[in-house]
Structure formats: structure tokens, C-alpha cells
Chains A and B, each alone.
Chain A
Amino acid sequence: MPCERKPMRYGHSEGHTEVCFDDTGRYIVTCGNDGDVRIWESLDDDDPKFITVGEKAYSLALKKGKLVTASSSNTVQIHTFPDGDPDGILTRFTTNATHVTFNHSGTRVAAGSSDFMVKVVEVSDSSQQKTLRGHEAPVLSVTFDPKDEYLASSSCDGSVVVWSIEEQTQVISWPLLQKTNDVSNATSLCRLAFQPAAGKFLAVPVETRVHLYERGSWDHVGSLSDELLTQPVNVASWSPCGRFLAAGAVGGLLTIWDVNSRLVVERQKHEKGFTVCSLAWHPSGSQIAYTDTEGCLGLLDGLGTSGTGTDSTKAPAAKPANDYDDLFDEDDDRLMDEGLSDANSPVKKAAEDEDDDDFLIPSTGRVRNRAAILNDENSLDTGSLKLGQDKFGDDDDDDAGSSVAPAAAQRPVYDGPVPTPPQKAFQPGSTPAHLTHRFMMWNSVGIVRGYNDEQDNAIDVEFHDTAVHHAMHLTNSLGHTMADLSQEAVLLACPSTDDLASKLQCLHFSCWDTSKEWMVDLPQGEDVKALCLGQGWAAVATSALLLRLFSVGGVQREIFSLPGPVVCLAGHGEQLLVVYHRATGFDGEQALGIQLLQFGRRKRQLMNGEPLPLSPKSYLSWAGFTAEGTPCYVDSNGLVRMLNRALGNTWTPVCNTRETCKSKSDHYWVVGAHENPQQLRCIPCKGSRYPPTLPRPAVAILPFKLPLCQTGTEKGQMEEQYWRSVLFHNHYSFLSSSGYEVDEAAQTQSDKEQQELLMKMFALSCKLEREFRCVELAELMTQNVVTLAIRYASRSRRMNLAQRLSEIALEKSTQLQEDEEPEDEPEFSRDRRFRQTEPYNTRQNEEEEQEEDEEERVEEEDGREMETEETKRRLNPFAKESGFPAKPSLTPIGRVGRSNPFKVADSGKPTSSSGQPRASNILDNMRSSRKLAPLSGSAGKPGKGPVLKPLAPRAKAKAQSTLLQISSNKTANKKTVEAAEPAADLQKQPDAAAPPAENTENKRPKTGFQLWLDENRKIIIADNPDLDETDVIKEAMGRFRTLSADERLSWTERAKGQSGDAADLKKRKRAENEAVESDESNARKKSSSLDSSSKLSAFAFSKN
């Protein structure tokens, strides 16, 4: 017999609880230690009706609209059901009653008490009482014989007694139980039960078994036991059909036996192992409700025993039914033979009762019924379908059995996905409208409370920050049900009534004129469904699928149609979020769509009806914006999702509020979210989804956490932190793109934090020998940090890694340059770090790109003084945090002021540089330092030398020294004179090199180029006789470039052969005019840029 165990939910405070169903099975009724009787419409009823019956309620019984409870005031009282009005006191004891029960017809009530007495009282006339005396200890439990002849009771004195009600005498007494002095000390509550209808057996829980006594003869005819049942049985209860017996035990085991076969048909364990202290069968027999001593309520659903009077049952029930049939048939035969006059014969009883009590009696083993049973399997599905239609949001079909109409059950029905009822429109941050005291809105600005009871129908508006406005108290004569609150206004709306149209009322308290209120009537037949306030506007979604915009002063603005019935609206600044029903969901799912609009100067739609992702079988419970303006929503499963604008407007789950809940029925009611600091503001609600207005709930703060894998490990943790940081700082780019002010400090701070995390992850992967992963991480870093990473890698002797990183560093710097180009068109939707190289549109850009490559090489090869404008621009991003627009500066001072990021790297490296003779030729220099690099490597300093090389451009040092020279060596150095006037960059260095003889004080070794030039000068002059000196050198430069690498190398070797004193000629940088740049230089650069990076790496690492 399969059944589904529903999760337990909080019902009452800790202590003894009892449960029963009402006659129709629509309600579950429980009572508990808190003195309340709660009436649950289903297990998921978050707002059960309750009746307070006393300080404590010990027991309850419900029949025919009368609720009888035993309370701590030593009385047994009646309340009407379901209204809960007190209906008098039935009887009193000298101490509290322990158990009350109705007889079958509901005319009498039996109550057992701690004063050792059992009383039987007529419900209609409480003066007619019968008192059964004889127990010598508190009475544990009482039960009526279905025929009202007998009454059985168990007591703490250890006895189980059967009384004759009329004679008020003991019929029989068994000493079965352990003796105790009080109910609270008893090992078992020993809830006895007479078999309903037939009344053949009396079931008595004794220790771990349930004894069955035959009515009349009072013989012990057998016991029901189960080997798994090791703790005392607390309570026994017959199914309405009398075929099955359910028992709940200490320790939480629930067992159901088929009484005829004495076999266990179902076992369930309480999810927390608490003692089951009460259980009740649904009148249809398809559910069992049970409660435990911790005050929780549970439900077993879909019990196949049902086979209710409507002849419908689930297929799985067929097996026990089968067994039963066999047994029954046998019985039948035998009894037939024996002359079936015996009144106790179950068969006869069943057969007799079947006609008159069709609803309660199961389709017992008639073969003709069995066919019907097997044919009709879908009754429960029909039930859930029906249920789904009248009840929203509860994704279970608890009440299935109860709402099955017999007629529906017999029709063959559609057996497939069931449409979900669409969730109703709601205001995020409000509690349900049916409450008398409710929050109409709780947001970051303040609280709007609605009171709607007999004496008062009012609205209270209170601001978190009293600087906004003082609190307001309004009478709610129009019956407003919806509210929103902003820094400027309170917006209220009421649905239409028979004679009044739906109204929208706005209290524009920030208004500077004297009329601070306006009101708008909606057209006839149109109801406000949802509303929200933004900055300077109000939006209202109506039942006519229209979205109406108003200015906050009451001017009607745009109006547009919604694609579907609205679910909720949310506004923030200039943004409006609309959630609507996109389609019909199936099987508990909602199909919601979302629109995100932006007003203001540039009106546009940012999200165009995309589906809103929700957890399975959940619905939307909150939607809004973070304080920074990122859309964000919460579903009923407690999952918070936030818009990731950097990833094409996708939704990222950022928090699961249910993870922090202690109990299953606890929830967090979200009221707001902040991205900086990262806070989810919500109100913890014990045992419900939303908070009561009193006592005033306190806001708690939950941290965000991305559901990344393995966050227990250090790696996972850092990854989570990193991506969370990235996600939660997306709003900066959005804000700046929409023209808001951005907190620069916080932004750089967050960037720093992210880079630190990356560096940590990098170090971790390094430690774990995950070099590939290191490179992947380096891709995410900014250029500065890559430099650091390179240093780290080289320190830990990972040359291969360092080499790869330097390539990345190169790429990064190129990208940085590119990124600065399209500065005028902000692209907030893409994170700069992940931006791909964008195709260049203009030739100009292309050239620049190549030039940059060239420049890098130049820099890294450490000897070039050429500084073009591009170089300067390139340097800028390094100098400060990336992202500063490059401003070409023509003054040398400007350049000097910039710090060189590579400076750090080179400081530790003695091999080349400022101390070195400053050669004038790039190529030459490259070669000489190439030679030096291996030297330093082999000198046993691999940790330092090699890495730093590529990052050791002398740009800054050069610039400074150049300046120095400009001021001090003017007379001495001819070149400086030339430098005073702007000239093409290329001119300088050949100038410097070509006439070495003139350069008396700066005697330097000749470079390969110089040698080559000496040899080829004539040829060049012959080719271009009209060239002057500088042009000759330019031309020579171009030609030298076209030589093969080997040839150039040989020239360099030759140059080295000729030794020379290291003369220190400092070159100066020079303000350059782009216009002067010749095509030749471009050509040269192009040719050289191709292999620059490979040269670079070779330069840095090849010898290691």
C-alpha cells in the first residue's frame, strides 16, 4: 500500500497535540499545548483559522459541527465548528480531562479525566451524565462501542476496562498496561479504538503490539505486531472502513495493518523520529493526519486503502484488496455454511452496511466490485485537477481525496499534465489581503500597514527614515487593498465595487504646493491589479491588460498593453519591472514573463518578455530592485535571483533563504536587497511565509552566496567570492551608463578585491601544480596583476608559466588600448575584462594596433628611445587603474609623471638597463640583451632574471634621463639640439648612431645596423641621390629591416666583435606629431610586429 509522506509542518508549540478530520474531510483540526484549536484547510495552509479554547488543550473531538475540547480549565467545552463560537460547557472534572471522544452518531461524548473518572454526557443535554467510576489512576483514553452499548477505557492504573454504559458497571477489565501515576508519565497513551461500523474488535495498544479483543466475548483474538516496532504503541486508529488499523508509536513509527490478514501493509517513519501522539483517518480513508509531541503536523497521503464508497481506488491498492478478497471469499463460504446468523460476522455486517452506509464502507471483497476498483484508477488525479482549479499555489494535492466528487471520479478523465492555476497578482512586500492586520507594503522606504477590523479601517504609513516624512495615519474609507511607497509619495488603490469604480489614490507628500493628494477613477470594468512607484512616475497594471503610467503629480502619461495578466510590478528610479503570465503553466509550474523598461530621457525596453526562471513548482513571491537598481526576485522556494546584465540579462541565483531556515515551515520574507554592502534584508517568519504585524518584526540580514560547487574547499570559496563580487559590481557600469553618479572609490575597491581574489586563486593553483588553470585565471586579471602573477610564477620557478603569462600580459595591454578607443560609446552590458578584441573599422586603428605591437617590443627590448604618441597612450593605462581615458600629452613632463608598471619588475634585475650602455638601435640592443639574458639565467638567478626582462622597458627611466640631458648636455650632445624640434621618431636614433665620430663624449660600440649602414650607405645614396642625411638613414633603416634575421644577426655579431667602451648616451623622448610619421616607419613596424611576441619570449626565457 503505497502512500506519500508529506513533510511535517509546525502546528503548535511543543507538547501533546491531537488531530482529527471534520466530517467532510475538508479540514484538519488540531489542538495543542498552546491552547489553540487550529483548522487547516490543507497541510500547506499558512494561515489556519484558530480557536483559543484555554491555556492548554488536551484533547479534542469533532462531529456534526460540534467541537469538543478538554482544556486546562478542567472543563470539557463545546465550540461550534467551523465558526468557533463557544457553545457552553459540557462537563467539569476536578482536574483536567485527558481524552474526549464522540460516539458514532455524535449524540454523546465520553471524557476521561485525571481524577480517575469517565463521564458520558449527552451533547444535547449536558445534565444527562453517566459517571463511570472504578479506575484507580488517571484515565488515559476512552472509546465508544459503535453500537453505544459499551465504552472502553484505559487508565494509568494499568487496566483496560470495558464498561456497560447503561448500567455503569465494568463488563471486563484486563490488567495490560504498566502502572504509572500520571498521564505524563505513562509510556503509552494507549488510545484504544473500537472497529467502526461492524464493531467486531476492540484494538488496544499494549507495549509494541496492538491486541484485538472480540466484542461480546471479549476474548483476545489476536495481536497485530511488526518486527520493526520496538517502542510502545501510543495510539491505534481504525480506517473508516474498518479494514485497516493504523498505529502510531513512540519513536515516530507509523504502521498500518490489514486486520484480516494481520499483515503490515504500510510502514512510515516520522521524519524526525518524534513520538506520534495522535492520528486520524480522513473520512475517505485516503489520508492519515498525525501529530507528534513536538507540535508538528504530518500527513500520509494517497493511502490505497481508500476504496471509498464511490468504488474508486488506486491501482496499487489492488494487491491488498486481492488478499482480502481471497480471505473474504473463504470466510464467506465458511460462514454461509455455518448459518450466518452471527451478528458479529464481518461479512454479513459489511454486506448489510454496504447499502445504507455507502460512503464509509469500503468495497469489500465482492468480486463484482473488484472490477470496478481496477477500472477506475484516476479518481485521485481528478481530485487534484479539481483542487488545482479552486486553490492556488499549493503544489500538492492534500485535499485531493476530500474534494473528489463521486460523480467526477467515475468519468474517464484526462490523464496528463495538469494546468496550474495562475498565481494571483500581488504587491511585492505585502502580506495576504484577507488578514485583518496586514502589511500592505514593506520596502526600503517604509512600511504601510492596513487595519481592517470592526472598529477601525485604517492605513498607517511609517517611514524607516523619519527624515523622509513623518508617519501618517489615514482612514481607509475606500477600502484600499494595494499600496506602494517611495521617497516621494504613497500610492494606494482599491478594486471596484458594485457601484464604485476602481480608484487610484496618490498622496504626493513631497509635493511643494499645497494640494498633496490626487485621485483617479479607472474606467468602468477595469480594476487595478498591481501598482508601483518610481522616481517621478507611478505605474498601474489593470485587469484590462493595460499598463497605465502617471506622473507622480497626477498627469497621465504613456499607456500600453501588457502581453498577459500581470503578476506584479516593481519600480526603481527610471526602471519599471513587469512580471506577467506568459502562458499557462503545467503541473505546478508558473509560466511567467518579464519586461524591463527604462524611462527617462532615453525610453527603451531592456527586457522584452523573456521567461522568468522559477524553481520547480514554485511561484513568484517577491520581485523588486536592489537599492542599486538591479532587478531581483524571490520565488516561493526561497531562491533569490538577480539579473546579470553583463551576461546578456540572465538571472543568477544569489541566495537560498531556505538554507538558513531551521525548520521546514519557516520562511524568510524578503523586504529588500542591497548590492553594496551585499545584504538581503528579510524578516524571519517562524512557521509561516509572512510575518504578523505584531509584535513588530525585526529585519534580519542574510548574506548572498552563489550556489557554486564545492564551496567547502578553499578553491570553491574563492571562486564563489570572486564571481559574487563580479556580479554584485555590475551595477557600476549600468549606473554610469545611465548617467548616475558612481562611487568611484567603492568601484576601485571592488576591483581591487576581485584582483586580490584572482591572485589568491592563482597562487593556490600554482601550489597545486595547475599551470593551465593559472593561465586561465590570468586571463581574468587586469594587466597590472598579471605582472604580479608573472613575478609570482617566476619566483616559484615556473618558467613555462611565466612565459605564457607574459604573452597574456601583452594581449592585455593591446586590449586595453583598444578598449579606450570606443570611449564615446559606453557599453555597460559587457564587462571590460572579458571583452574580445573588437574588429577595427578604420585603417588608422589598424595601423595603431600594429604600432602598438611594435612599441611593446621596443619597450621590452629595452633600449629604444622612440616614443610615439601611441606609446604614451599605451603607458597611460598602466600608470593608473585601467579605464582612464588616454590623453595624449605632448609635454615630456606629462610622460615623466606616469609611473611604469614594469618598473617594479625591473628593479631587482641588474642585468641590463640604466647602468648599461645605452645603444641607439633597437635591433642592436635586442641582440645584446639577448645575450645577457642567458647569462643571468645561468648565473643561478633564474628566479629573477628571466621574467623581468620582457617587463623591463626603460621607458620611464629613459624619459627622465632624457630630460636631464636636455637640460644639462645640450651643448655637448648634438642630438639634443635636434631633439628640440619635433621630428619623426625614426630620425633620432639613426642620428644618434650614424655619426659616431662626432659624438666625442659618448663613445659607444657600433651596432650591427651601423656597421651595415657604413657598408651600404653608398648604395642607398646612389639609389636615392636626392635624399638628405636623415632620409638616408630612414631608408637604410627600412632596408635593414628587410634583411633576414640571420643576416641581421651576423651584422650584430660583427658589431660585437668590435669592442668599444660603453659610452652612455642617454636618449631623450620627444614630443611627436603623428602627422610627421612617415609611411616608411609604418611599413617597418608592420614587418617587425609580426614576430615581436615570439622574440620577446625567446628573449626572456629561452635559455632556461
Chain B
Amino acid sequence: MDPSEVEFLAEKEFVKIIPNFSLDKIYLIGGDLGPFNPGLSVDVPVWLALNLKQRQKCRILPPEWMDVEKLEEMRELERKEDAFTPPPSPYYMELTKLLLNHASDNIPKADEIRTLVKDIWDTRVAKLRLSTDSFIRQQEAHAQLDNLTLMEINTIREFLLDSLNCMYKLRSNLQPGATKGQFADY
């Protein structure tokens, strides 16, 4: 899975915008949107929000969690806990990136938020690597990791699976009685 695919999925998340145009309900396959009243906030998917924003048709209201204080708290918690804490949003990284890239003028303290989210991300990915490491070291068959987001899983998936495969091959070679033929199966 490509990161852009994950981002694509994140674009289905809803975000509040304040449109500066007026439009009746629009009926889409994914559901009805609107009505759009100038000056009144309305929930729309991120893809639409960004599109409207690029055409200067709306102002995006940052999601509730996208707030310096809340993110600071989360960062502290994330650092304190060994396990993964529930993420602020299942698509927090993607949304932060999308919104800050396209609508940083509508988000107060955009730079701080960017740093904070990056911090949280780094902490979590570090944890993920750490647990992968211990997983492999201890040669466990399975492990449970809660509160991972799709993007995080995605960063490690390819590498983890490949390396596990690889290690399996190496190990099966080491085992007595293992033949070349078996190896060829993989």
C-alpha cells in the first residue's frame, strides 16, 4: 500500500468549513453534503474542503484535536506510556499534513502544530520499531499492538514482512535436514 493511498483514505474524513458561497444540498454517492450557507459551518470531507479552499471558497476550521495544548498533552502522554496511546484521530498524520499544507492560514499556530504532530509521530514510530525489534528478537509468533493508525502500519508493513520472510528463509536453511528444494518453495 502506498502512503498516497492512505492519504486518499484520509481524505474521506470530515472536517468543518465555513463556506463563503451558498449552495443547496449536493447529493453524492458517499452521502449528502450541505446545504452550504455563507458564514455557517458545515461538515464536508477533507477532499472537498481542500478543493474549496484552493478555490478560496471556504475557510477550514481545524479539527478539535488540532490544538497546541491538546497535542502537547498527547505528546507528553505518548512519551510517558510504553504502549501506544489512542491517536488524536485515526488519520492524524495525514490530516495534519493535508490541512497544514493547504490551509495553514486558517489554523492558528500552524508551525507549532506541525512540530507537535511530528513529535508524536516520531515517538510512535520509534515505539513501533522498538516493539518490532523485540518481537523479532524473542521470535514470537504473534503480537498485539493497539491504537496503531493505518499510516503507521503502512510504514512498517513492507519492511517487516520482507524481513520476516527473509529471516524465515535463513532460519530454515540453518535447520538440519533442510534442503535446497524447500528453500526454492519460497
Contact = CB atoms under 8 A, between A and B. Distances in A.
Given A695-B108, A698-B61, A467 B21 contact: yes
A695 B105 CA distance: 12
Nearest to B59: A696
Contact of A465 (B22, B41, B56, B108): B22
Interface in A954-983: none
B66 interface: no
Interface string B37-63: 111110000000000000011000100
B20 A466 contact: yes
B18 interface: yes
Given A695-B108, A698-B61, A466 B41 contact: no
Contacts of B20: 463-466
Contacts of B108: 695
A463 B37 CA distance: 12
A478 interface: no
Q: Considering residues A444, A446, A466, A681, which has the most beta carbons from chain B within 10 angstroms of its beta carbon?
A: A466
A701 interface: yes
B61 A463 contact: no
A544 interface: no
Contacts of A463: 20, 38
A701 B22 contact: no
Given A464-B39, A681-B40, A698 B21 contact: no
The bracket for how many chain A residues form the interface is: 10 to 19
Contacts of A464: 20, 37-39
Contacts of B21: 465-467
Interface string A739-759: 000000000000000000000
Interface string B79-95: 00000000000000000
A699 B22 contact: no
Contacts of A701: 40
A465 B38 contact: yes
Interface string B18-34: 10111000000000000
A464 B39 CA distance: 5
B22 A444 contact: no
A695 B106 CA distance: 10
Contact of B41 (A444, A446, A699): A699
Interface string A454-465: 000000000111
A220 B11 CA distance: 73
B62 to A, nearest CB: 11
A463 B21 CA distance: 10
Nearest to A671: B39
Contact of A467 (B22, B37, B40): B22
Contacts of A465: 20-22, 38-39
Contacts of A698: 18, 41, 61
B180 to A, nearest CB: 69
A699 B20 CA distance: 13
Given A465-B22, A466-B20, A699 B40 contact: yes
Contacts of A699: 18, 39-41
Contacts of A695: 108
A124 to B, nearest CB: 43
A465 B57 CA distance: 9
Nearest to A446: B39
Contacts of B18: 698-699
A467 B22 CA distance: 9
B68 to A, nearest CB: 13
A698 B16 CA distance: 11
Contacts of A446: 39
A1073 to B, nearest CB: 49
A468 B61 CA distance: 22
Contacts of A467: 21-22
Nearest to B40: A699
B170 to A, nearest CB: 58
Interface in A650-702: 681, 695, 698-699, 701
B102 to A, nearest CB: 18
A526 B140 CA distance: 89
* Most chain B C-beta atoms within 10 Å of own C-beta, residue among A463, A465, A695: A465
Nearest to B37: A464
A699 B22 CA distance: 16
Nearest to B16: A698
Nearest to B20: A466
Interface in A269-302: none
Contacts of B22: 465, 467
Interface in A458-514: 463-467
Nearest to A468: B38
Contacts of B37: 464
Interface in A421-466: 444, 446, 463-466
A744 to B, nearest CB: 17
Nearest to A672: B39
Contacts of A466: 20-21, 38, 56-57
Contacts of B39: 444, 446, 464-465, 681, 699
A468 to B, nearest CB: 8
B113 to A, nearest CB: 14
Contacts of A444: 39
A464 B21 CA distance: 7
A698 B56 CA distance: 18
Contacts of B41: 698-699
B52 to A, nearest CB: 12
B16 to A, nearest CB: 8
B152 to A, nearest CB: 31
B54 to A, nearest CB: 15
A446 B21 CA distance: 12
B40 to A, nearest CB: 6
A743 to B, nearest CB: 12
A173 B56 CA distance: 71
Contacts of B57: 466
B33 to A, nearest CB: 16
Interface string A693-717: 0010011010000000000000000
A681 B56 CA distance: 23
Interface string A45-86: 000000000000000000000000000000000000000000
Q: In the complex, which of the residues B40, B56, B61 has the most CB atoms of chain A within 10 Å of its own CB atom?
A: B40
Contacts of B38: 463-466
Nearest to B56: A466
A609 to B, nearest CB: 34
Contacts of A681: 39-40
Nearest to B41: A698
A746 to B, nearest CB: 13
A465 B58 CA distance: 10
A681 B18 CA distance: 14
A444 B61 CA distance: 19
Interface in A934-970: none
Nearest to B36: A465
A681 B37 CA distance: 12
Interface centre among B18, B39, B61 (most CB of A within 10 A): B39
A525 B38 CA distance: 41
A465 B40 CA distance: 10
A698 B57 CA distance: 17
Nearest to A700: B41
A699 B38 CA distance: 11
Nearest to B18: A698
Nearest to A462: B20
A682 to B, nearest CB: 12
Nearest to A447: B39
A922 B21 CA distance: 65
A698 B18 CA distance: 9
7 contacts: A463-B38, A464-B37, A465-B20, A466-B20, A466-B21, A699-B18, A699-B39
Given A467-B22, A698-B18, 14 more contacts: A446-B39, A463-B38, A465-B21, A465-B22, A465-B38, A466-B38, A466-B57, A681-B39, A681-B40, A695-B108, A698-B41, A698-B61, A699-B18, A699-B39
For the complex of A and B, 6 pairs with smallest distance between CB atoms: A464-B39, A464-B38, A465-B38, A466-B20, A465-B22, A467-B21
